[in-house]
Structure 1
Amino acid sequence: MRLHRNPVKDPQRELYIYRVRMLLAVVLVVLLTGLLGARLYYLQVVQHEVYSTRSDKNRVRVEPLPPSRGLIYDRNGELLAENLPTYNLMLVRERVDNLDETLGLLVDLLALPEDEVESLRARSRQRQRSYQPALLINDLSESQIALLAVNRYRLPGVEVEAQFLRHYPDSEIMSHVLGYVGRINTQELERIDSGNYAGTHYIGKTGVELSYEDELHGKAGIRKVEANARGRVLRELEREDSVSGKDLKLSIDKPLQQLAFDLLDGRRGAIVAIDPRNGQILALASVPGFDTNQFVTGINVKDYRALQQDVDLPLFNRAIRGSYPAGSTIKPFMLIAGLASGVITPETTIYDPGYYQLPNDDRRYRNWLRWGHGRVDMERSLAVSNNTYYYSLAHDVGIDRISEHLSKFGFGQRNAADVAGEGSALLPSREWKRQRFNQSWYPGETLSVGIGQGYLQVTPLQLATATAVLANRGHWVKPRLALEIGGDPLPEVLPETLDDITLPNDEWWDRVFSGMKKVLSGREGTARRSGVGLEYAMAGKSGTAQVFSLGQNERYNASQIRERLRDHALFMAFAPVDEPKIAVSVIVENAGGGSSHAAGLARAMSDFWLLERNAGGQPAGSQAEKDPDAEAAALSEGAL
């Protein structure tokens, strides 16, 4: 048997191997230690600011402090828009683990109706800044607050927050003047300063609330608070207070506005009253109105659809956007155009056989009085509202000069300084028709414009503004709603006010006013019944605007026409004539003759303003012309 001998150990080699292994181990340890140190240095030094901020976010959070919205008052200091305390349900998405589960729990706890569930989910997903609360439900009841408090541990990221809610004490009569605030939508989020609106969930949507949104909103503040792991605030670390919005004082007179609504008595229409001395809008009534408080908290689908489908269009602001044929209310302005153009003088007369014919044209453009008024001068043409006089005048002046002169009174354009949504209506011209229809202008269309029909359209605000300029003998005042912002009065002269209107002879204004006074106080005046007992001199003009055109030989019979196709009733007036303090325009849709259905409303507005609101009794220098036979005189229902 052969034996194997163990090789002899080599101590030197083993020692070498051991040293190499030890060296590698030391290098590895040093390398790992270096990497650990470098990582610690990176985290503690290089990224100190980042991780310090992240750490603070776990215990310190920044909360917005929304500003209190400015209040709105009428000219006498009566509150029109206020802020009432309320409790809202808020959601911070970043603190919610399962959004759908949380929303489902809220729906069950609060027993929300089906039509509110979808809007709740939409609000919860509306784009917001990080950690900014989203408004889910506003104006919570006490029972809802109690339920949420008991189940708070089940609703991380859901909080009940106390805020102020906009409220309109006289929402219906002021609906179209003030407008309303509503929840900020996605489109508005893209254009507003998100930092300044942090914590704010409402923004002006229409009316004064929209026009003066920047002033009414104010400036948002912030506060830094320390919170525990459950989100409960432990202490306040830093605070920058919000700046409340500025209070707004309007020129609107609440009692006069209420009177306008009462006078219309639910009939579709509008009444606008302006102070000619300064352009202050005293009343801006559009009937029917609506409850603006519904829109603040979010109107439900059923109620909103009912407003939209209402045939009386309560959401439509007739006072500033309604476009109506001017009817015979345009005639005083046509006289100014004729006098300024040199086409007529105050002594110009025509003979009216009951119609007017263009040269070489067999068609007869009829006066409202079929057998005519005979010899008619300028003042009588206003008193009896003779159409034939204005057919002749319009033909001689021509559409180009008519458009030029009527535009100086503000027709066909937006004139007010701060009325959101104001319409421009339509002042036709030769160029307009060519661009709109690619057609030539016809002489017969000029005649229609001359009596306020055809393409010519005006808004009640435009008509009141033009009446104020007329009362001022051509001096322009820009209509305005705001008197003071934050206690500071607005400047008397506003920018972009139109130039004053001048006539070759200043006495011609008096001659036009004389004819307008006879409308109310003259023996033949179309509105003489409304002028009975006047305690001041009032100048006015009635108008009856056709809704559809009659054939040449057809006669208007209201009883045979559907109610919404009947004529509109209009009236414009100012008083006292010597020192005008109020200019009024009235439109009552489908009511019939302006003399019988609109003149009395303008008279009532003037009486209230001059004899009651301005408690001085009969204004100085305002003795009216008295017609002893006026009270007994029969009013011509068809008078324009």
Structure 2
Amino acid sequence: MYIKNSTQENKIFHNRAIIAWFLMLLFLSLIFARMYYLQVIQHQDYITKSEENSIKILPLPPTRGLIYDRNGVLLAENRISYSLEIIPEKLTEKLDHILDKLKNIIVIEESDITRFKKQSRQKRQFNSIPLRHRLTEGEVARFSVQRHHFAGVEIQSNQSRYYPLGATGVHAIGYVGRINERELKRIDKSNYLGSNYIGKLGIEKYYEKQLHGQTGFQKVETNVKGHIIRVLERTSPIAGKNLYLNLDIELQKYTEEILSKHRSALVVIDPKTSGVLVLASMPYYDPNLFVNGISYKDYNALRDSPERPLYNRAIRGQYPPGSTIKAFVGLAGLEHGVRTKYSRTWCRGWYSLKGQSHRYRDWKKRGHGSVNFHSSLEQSCDVYYYDLAHDLGIDRLNKFMKRFSFGKKTGIDITGELGGLMPSREWKRRRYNKHWYPGETVITGIGQGYMLATPLQLAVATTTLSNHGKFKQPRMVFAMDDPKSNEMSIISPIIQKTIHLKRQDFWKTAIGGMRAVVHSRRGTANKVGRGSRYRFAGKTGTAQVITIKQSETYNARRLKKKFHDHALFVAFAPLKNPRLAISVIVENGGGGSSTAAPIAKKVMDHYLLRK
């Protein structure tokens, strides 16, 4: 029989009550301690986070500077366009479902989706990512009606680069494109917040810092939906500087029309200012395709084209300069005392080194007879320069030619220039670990063998010759306009050096020979000089693409077009007080006198006679 023990039960109840009260006080103490920690100790941190929920710092991207030609023709501008952008973190549905719904309202290509997903891996959280650029007004209107169904999807208005003349001058101007992952690592990220574009090629890239400007910021208060209620603070952006080029876009357009049927390049420089009036490379392409991301189809078509439209032949095309360098080789002979202007060489149609049977052929099979420096230029006698180069030696020839910027970059203010090649003993030993042979010097004398030059280098060298040795750095930009101060700063021509020869009349001798090329009866380009309303100096050139055996004769009809010789021509005009120096190359164009010279003459006529 169980006997109830009230005293024992009361004792147990009392103990349990004490424990319960102790635990309750302990938990209350912990709660109060936590509240004190959050509200007192961490007060400032949570106040800041609370403000961040309602106050945001938004970047204000600057307006990119405009680009004009020398006459004020607009070459690169900014246009307002509308883009559809998504903030992935704010989506309330799966991305694929959202994309399917959007396709019913606006046109979205697979390339747009691919680009969006690629950029989403590079962007920071809560940053919007463009899905479609350049929406039509109809697409904007249709989305606006359905906007409440798409959380995290917005239409943004922004400035987009536009090139009103399309492909004209693209190899000089370049283009902008979307900032890629590699570029993000080297740019000042704080100055590119809110900016999607950066210069990729040409002037757009070289002058990126000046064109881009300085990003501004504004502190805004937003509601729970992220919409701006009011602006609390604002630092205005600083617009990029406007650039004025030396480029004459009307002459550029005319030149490109003439060159349109050829793979070719042409450069025109004003000898007085060193300003580049024309920098043409054909074929070309529309830079507007690249601004907002070119489609795979369009890019593959450009990249895989056998005509190589993306290749800037004017500053990157490295070709054997052929006979266009003979005036400079002849000057080297005069300067080093190896020849005088009266020295004569007998040309019988070929040249051989002493003790060797190999014949270095002249373009004229029967030879030119007795020639001096003047007549060798006039008739483009190869034998004269074979013999002269051998007597000079490659070391002296190399050093002299480099004074005219052969074998090194000219320093032009656009990106991508290559320096060509002026060979030497040391270069061959370093490159091939082989000795230099006398026969290699011989063919260097007529711009063949290892020697390579760009059309820009030939134009710069011709400009230096027309200026009697004053070497000026070629310039694309002649002025900058600062929108903030509304002041224009002129970029003066830079005379980097002056080539001093032992006698000043050496210049006149070389120029006289080049004058005879176009104005004498026996000149190799006398057809283009015949009937000219002004006097000028020029030199033709033909560069071999393939080697012809001793027992064979070059016959273009038997060869594929890609094996035909390159055609070259350099000139400056007028003869007194030159206003332009020009170089032109036509790939696989045949003879310089028949193909390249007539093109150059048309360009010179258009510039000198159009007014």
TM, length-normalised to structure 1: 0.90
Please say if 1:373 is aligned against 2:368. yes
Q: Secondary structure of 1:224's match?
A: strand
User: How many angstroms does 1:48 deviate by?
Assistant: 2.6
- Taking a change above 3 Å as real, the CA distance of residues 53 and 95 of structure 1, as seen in their structure-2 partners, is farther
For residue 534 of structure 1, the aligned residue among 503, 525, 532 is 532
- Paired position in structure 2 for 1:637: none
For residue 516 of structure 2, the aligned residue among 518, 528, 541 is 518
For residue 101 of structure 2, the aligned residue among 85, 89, 105 is 105
Q: Secondary structure of 1:400's match?
A: helix
Structure 1 Cα separation of the partners of residues 239 and 128 of structure 2: 20
- Match runs of 1:79-228 below 5 Å: 79-97=74-92, 98-123=94-119, 125-228=120-223
- Paired position in structure 2 for 1:638: none
For residue 397 of structure 1, the aligned residue among 392, 395, 405 is 392
- Paired position in structure 1 for 2:547: 549
Report the more deviating stretch, 98-107 or 201-210: 98-107
Structure 2 Cα separation of the partners of residues 552 and 4 of structure 1: 133
- Taking a change above 3 Å as real, the CA distance of residues 4 and 311 of structure 1, as seen in their structure-2 partners, is closer
Q: Secondary structure of 2:581's match?
A: strand
Q: Secondary structure of 1:577's match?
A: coil
Name the amino acid aligned to 1:106: L
Report the more deviating stretch, 411-420 or 316-325: 411-420
- Paired position in structure 1 for 2:485: none
Structure 1 Cα separation of the partners of residues 521 and 106 of structure 2: 71
- Taking a change above 3 Å as real, the CA distance of residues 526 and 254 of structure 1, as seen in their structure-2 partners, is same
Please say if 1:462 is aligned against 2:460. no
Structure 1 Cα separation of the partners of residues 547 and 12 of structure 2: 119
Percent sequence identity over aligned pairs: 44
- Paired position in structure 2 for 1:605: 603
Contact 1:91 1:136 in 2 (8 A): yes
Name the amino acid aligned to 2:600: A
Please say if 1:560 is aligned against 2:558. yes
- Paired position in structure 1 for 2:308: 313
User: How many angstroms does 1:493 deviate by?
Assistant: 5.0
Structure 2 Cα separation of the partners of residues 571 and 127 of structure 1: 49
Contact 2:260 2:283 in 1 (8 A): no
- Paired position in structure 1 for 2:568: 570
Contact 1:460 1:587 in 2 (8 A): yes
- Taking a change above 3 Å as real, the CA distance of residues 17 and 610 of structure 1, as seen in their structure-2 partners, is same
Structure 2 Cα separation of the partners of residues 126 and 490 of structure 1: 43
Q: Deviations over 1:410-460 (max 9, x none)?
A: 111111231200111211111111122221111111111101111111100
Q: Deviations over 1:536-559 (max 9, x none)?
A: 321110001111111123222222
TM, length-normalised to structure 2: 0.94
User: How many angstroms does 1:367 deviate by?
Assistant: 1.2
Structure 2 Cα separation of the partners of residues 88 and 227 of structure 1: 22
For residue 250 of structure 1, the aligned residue among 245, 248, 256 is 245
Structure 2 Cα separation of the partners of residues 490 and 411 of structure 1: 29
- Paired position in structure 2 for 1:449: 444
User: How many angstroms does 1:485 deviate by?
Assistant: 2.1
Structure 2 Cα separation of the partners of residues 187 and 595 of structure 1: 46
Q: Deviations over 1:355-388 (max 9, x none)?
A: 1111111112111111111110110000000011
Name the amino acid aligned to 1:577: L
- Paired position in structure 2 for 1:330: 325
Contact 2:80 2:160 in 1 (8 A): yes
Unaligned runs of 5+ in 2: 483-487
Structure 2 Cα separation of the partners of residues 491 and 232 of structure 1: 46
Please say if 1:359 is aligned against 2:354. yes
Structure 2 Cα separation of the partners of residues 5 and 465 of structure 1: 122
- Paired position in structure 1 for 2:431: 436
Structure 2 Cα separation of the partners of residues 173 and 553 of structure 1: 46
User: How many angstroms does 1:474 deviate by?
Assistant: 1.0
- Paired position in structure 2 for 1:42: 37
Structure 1 Cα separation of the partners of residues 567 and 109 of structure 2: 46
Q: Secondary structure of 2:426's match?
A: helix
Contact 1:86 1:163 in 2 (8 A): yes
Report the more deviating stretch, 204-213 or 408-417: 408-417
Please tell me the root mean square deviation across aligned C-alpha atoms, in Å. 2.3
Structure 2 Cα separation of the partners of residues 115 and 85 of structure 1: 23
User: How many angstroms does 1:131 deviate by?
Assistant: 2.7
- Taking a change above 3 Å as real, the CA distance of residues 304 and 9 of structure 1, as seen in their structure-2 partners, is closer
- Taking a change above 3 Å as real, the CA distance of residues 349 and 151 of structure 1, as seen in their structure-2 partners, is same
Please say if 1:596 is aligned against 2:597. no
Q: Secondary structure of 1:151's match?
A: helix
Counting matched residue pairs gives 605
Structure 2 Cα separation of the partners of residues 112 and 131 of structure 1: 22
